[in-house]
Structure 1
Amino acid sequence: MKELTMLLWEDFQQLRRMDGIHWGELPDHEGVKKLVKHLHRLVYFRGTQQELGQMIRKSYDLLMSQLEKVCPDEDTDRICMDFLEKIPAVRGKIEKDLLAAFEGDPAATGYDEIVLAYPGLYAITVYRLAHELYKLNVPLIPRSMTELAHSTTGIDIHPGATIGEYFFIDHGTGIVIGQTTIIGDHVKLYQGVTLGGLSTRGGQKLSGAKRHPTIEDSVTIYAGATILGGETVIGRGCVIGANAFVTSSIPADTTVTMKQPELQLKKHQ
């Protein structure tokens, strides 16, 4: 054990990049998990006015404890209050997402089932909350929130993405929506869709640039489709078929499908 300790100690003396991370200044996983849980309950709250006050206070305390770690020099009370004051507007957007899910899925038996059991709505709810913190320039916490939803649902939405109203994710597993993606209203995505960036050598030089596609209103993108590039615009009313690979703009009211592969049938011997 002594030799092993010395081996690892010598490695730590090299001061690798990960050794410069100050863990005390990062949001902790359990704290973010509790925050997301309480904010989710706040969005879908049912109870008395007194219970609502208690829920708001708890959400404030949980958010404040994380903010004090990641931005101790900022007015964290103001950030908390600005965020919580946006909850009614967030609820308004989520109500429209809920309606889109109900109208878009004949299997849905009611709103309660969607809220309880649909991973798409859960991921969208967490995204919409995280997005408000992102717009307030809060570091780390928004990404931690959406990554928590990602680990739970398999749906990866960057908190910096811009997403319009009546957004519906059906099934959802494997969906990726990049940071600079812009999505209009009444857009529907199925499982396995990627709205991503083209791989370049730009790396950090492209930080802040538009790297991900724009999806205009009333677009449906079916399972497994990949749409890449910051200059790629999918026009209003388009339908992108399953497994399509798109890296250039598509004009409005266009259906894009992959050429059907030929099936080969062979009788068992």
Structure 2
Amino acid sequence: MNSKNYEFSKTLHNNQNQNWVRAIDSSKIITWIDDLFRILFPEKTLESIQIELLLDQNKINFITILTEINKGKAVDKSRELADAFYEALPELYSSMQKDAQAILDTDPAADCIEEIINSYPGFFAIEVYRIANAIASRTKCLIPRILTEYAHSKTGIDIHPNATIDVPFMIDHGTGIVIGESTIIGKYVSIYQGVTLGALQVEKSMQEKKRHPTVEDHVIIYANATILGGSTIIGNHSIVGGNTFISKSVNPYSLIMQSNKNTVLNQQEIKDINFFSI
């Protein structure tokens, strides 16, 4: 080894001893969540004893992951967290069922539950969020962010695991959606592609403050709308039109649309008008 490589190796070693490490291979967490979803939503009906055995193995794998991440901490702590998570799993599963049913009830393009749980990116992103949020509410570790970034990479939907999202919640199409950390979303909210629920400004000093908006029950937010600010509240039963920009609260039952108007000309009226584009 030449001297430059030797010096760089020493630098890497020293930095890695100061937490410049990944802590765990993300693929282990991804395998765990994929296995869990195969138990919750299998290809065919499983016998109760099969489900019990699969859940036991999934729990063991989860404890192994927690123990690996939390090096130096007692294994009992990992078991305690796993116990709490799997005790909450029936309620999480019920929430997922309600999400899927709400999508089926509201989306005219959805034909059956099987279609939603198999192919809807919005459903997948929501349910990964629900799992990640349940873990994040019980411990601070890498798992929730790795889970939601996995869903982000697959769907283009970025939901922070610490956001608060009630049940049911519907995402249609979904690509480009961003839901920030301190966002609060109520029941029966529908969001379309390209929507941002973000902060008005990004400063480290605001880390502990509410930076993202609140969306109350029964709100529809159409494509590419941007809603910013921790004090911004979208009142219940409101409709937010596409491409709108909102940084102030709106009352319940509001209809928010862009003020810009499109001009529509009859085809016969534009015979003598020359258009060109670059």
Superposed pair shares fold, TM > 0.5: yes
Aligned partner letter, 1:78: E
Query: What is the DSSP-based 3-state SS (H/G/I as helix, E as strand, rest coil) of the residue aligned with 2:227?
Result: strand
Percent of aligned pairs sharing the same letter: 35
1:27 aligns with 2:24: yes
Aligned pair count? 264
Gaps of 5+ in 1: none
Cα distance in 1, alignment partners of residues 58 and 21 from structure 2: 23
Q: CA deviation at 1:42?
A: 2.5
Gaps of 5+ in 2: 265-269
Aligned to 1:147: 149
Cα distance in 1, alignment partners of residues 18 and 131 from structure 2: 30
> How does the TM-score come out when normalised to structure 1?
0.90
The one of the two structures with greater contact order (alpha-carbon pairs below 8 A, sep at least 6) is 1
Aligned to 2:244: 244
Aligned to 2:61: 62
CA contact (8 A) 1:34 1:62 kept: no
Sort the Cα spacing of 1:246 and 1:268 in 2 relative to 1 into closer, same or farther, 3 A: closer
Aligned to 1:216: 216
Aligned partner letter, 1:217: D
Aligned to 1:128: 130
More deviation in 237-246 or 256-265? 256-265
Query: What is the DSSP-based 3-state SS (H/G/I as helix, E as strand, rest coil) of the residue aligned with 1:227?
Result: strand
Aligned partner letter, 2:247: T
Alignment of 1:170-181 (within 5 A): 170-181=172-183
Q: CA deviation at 1:55?
A: 1.4
Aligned to 2:267: none
Q: CA deviation at 1:36?
A: 1.1
Cα distance in 2, alignment partners of residues 212 and 37 from structure 1: 30
Query: What is the DSSP-based 3-state SS (H/G/I as helix, E as strand, rest coil) of the residue aligned with 2:197?
Result: strand
1:75-129 deviations in Å (ceiling 9; x for gaps): 1111111101111100111111001110111111110001000000001111111
Provide runs of 4+ in structure 1 moved above 6 Å: 13-16
Query: What is the DSSP-based 3-state SS (H/G/I as helix, E as strand, rest coil) of the residue aligned with 1:250?
Result: coil
> How does the TM-score come out when normalised to structure 2?
0.87
**Higher-Rg member (1/2):** 2
More deviation in 247-256 or 34-43? 34-43
Question: What RMSD, in angstroms, separates the aligned Cα atoms of the two structures?
Answer: 2.3
Aligned partner letter, 2:159: I
